[in-house]
Chain A
Amino acid sequence: MPEEATSLEDRADKLNEEMLIRRIRDGEHELFYDLIRPYERRVYSTAFAILRNEADAEDVAQEAVLKAFKHIRQFRAEARFSTWLISITVNEARMRRRKEHVEIMQPIVDHQDEEGNYTPRDFADWREIPSETLERSEVRQKLAEALASLGQKYREVFVLRDMQHLSIEETAKALGVSTASVKTRLLRARLMLRDLLAPGLGGNWSSRLSFAKGTKPW
């Protein structure tokens, strides 16, 4: 019985969303608040992950949501609304970066070719997942710094696939690249992040950025 209720609720949620979109298109614009509310956080975190700056992320998140509202008629039901909204956010964030040439932080670990092989630099054991450590803000800060240090193309793929849980196809579509490219970039993004974080999360972080320079011979 509980299982049945859950699936019914899921279906109801989906139907609700479709109904909301239909009614917004028919002129009940206020319903748009309800449509986007579950996704506000995701829009912000996508924008933040790309722009690496709170103020820009908030501004871009607002722009993206406004754009979604203005173009709600262009939304095609075959895509998920969340995916469509995230794609708009990515585009807005990219435009903002181009406009402002925000490349203050040069990517630290973007030195290998996308097509070349990536060789992990750290083989330290890191078997326990310390998810409770996220409650510590300095850990979140380290994770944010590591992500920010990736080149944009790796960061975008990682954010959409591993943080926003888009499928590989959806990620490819949102970024306008092939699925093969998504897979290659994702591999690099994941391995680079692991190299950046493994020294800290496996043992303990020192105050300096331990990943700024490779500490292992390999």
Chain B
Amino acid sequence: MVVNCEEVWREISNYLDDEISPDLRAAMEEHFRGCHKCSAVLDGTRNVIGLYEDDRMFEPPQGFSQRLHQRLEQNMPRNRRGFLGWMVAAAAAVLVAGGFELASSAASRQPELRSEHAQPGVGVPAGLMVVVAEDGKTFHVAGCGFIHDKAKLRSITASEASREGYAPCVRCMKKYLNESARYDSHDGDDVWEFAGSGEPISK
């Protein structure tokens, strides 16, 4: 099988996507070896694809994620709690958080963990954005499937989370935790989902 330049240009995209027959592929490869123009087109096309697939191409504007979450929040049905319920919960959370802040600043620099068996988040990058639930015990990376709390979630840095007494989730933060911490720090937060009990184990 022999192909000319025009046939090569027609199939060059399918060639890159491996959407052609082995025969045609072999013929095109043969053609590229002898045709400078077509091999330049092939290289250039490949480079174009490589450049655009880079994640940095279209950066969202600053604050995009926060605004998106705000918009979602405004549109989310509050089926479990009314507005008043959220206000009460939020006020309680502020009090609890304030309490921890006071306790930790008064007693020592080591924060009081929300779960007595948890390990502090040593090894987790301080600036890492994590998600916490107001009355949860652990902090998670966004998207972790083990965030079980029904209370409102918020995003803070790992160091803020640690200051507030949250411990790292042993699942999603495991790459930051050392081997011993990974197995010792089990505070029960993470097993209930697999056990299928339907409710978190409360302390």
List the interface of chain A (C-beta within 8 A of B). Answer: 12, 15-17, 19-20, 27-35, 37-38, 40-41, 44-45, 48-49, 54, 58, 61-62, 65-66, 69-70, 117-120, 122-131, 134-135, 140, 143-144, 147, 158, 162-163, 165, 168, 183, 186-187, 190-191, 193-194, 197-198, 201-202
Contact = CB atoms under 8 A, between A and B. Distances in A.
Interface in B13-70: 13-14, 16-17, 19, 36-37, 40-41, 43-58, 60-61, 64-65, 67-69
17 contacts: A33-B153, A34-B131, A40-B65, A58-B61, A61-B64, A117-B10, A118-B10, A123-B36, A123-B40, A124-B44, A126-B40, A143-B57, A144-B58, A165-B53, A187-B13, A190-B16, A197-B51
B72 interface: yes
Nearest to B154: A33
Contact of B50 (A27, A38, A65, A131): A131
A32 B68 CA distance: 12
B12 interface: yes
Q: Which of B6, B49, B77 has the most CB of A within 10 A?
A: B49
B143 A35 contact: yes
Given A29-B76, A54-B61, A124-B40, A37 B143 contact: yes
A45 B68 contact: no
B192 interface: no
Nearest to B56: A134
A134 B57 contact: yes
Contacts of B10: 117-118, 187
A175 B44 CA distance: 27
Interface residues of B, number: 54
B3 interface: no
Contact of B64 (A29, A58, A143, A201): A58
A197 B48 contact: yes
A144 B54 CA distance: 12
The 8 closest A-B pairs by CB, nearest first: A16-B145, A187-B13, A45-B58, A37-B142, A44-B60, A126-B44, A123-B37, A194-B44
A37 B49 CA distance: 26
A134 B55 CA distance: 10
Contacts, number: 169
A61 B40 CA distance: 37
A127 B43 contact: yes
Contacts of A118: 9-10
A31 to B, nearest CB: 7
A117 B9 contact: yes
Contacts of A62: 67-68, 71
A163 B57 contact: yes
Nearest to B61: A54
B150 interface: yes
Given A30-B152, A183-B19, A61 B48 contact: no
A194 B57 contact: no
Contact of A186 (B13, B60, B131, B152): B13
Contacts of A29: 76-77, 79
Contact of B145 (A19, A38, A122): A19
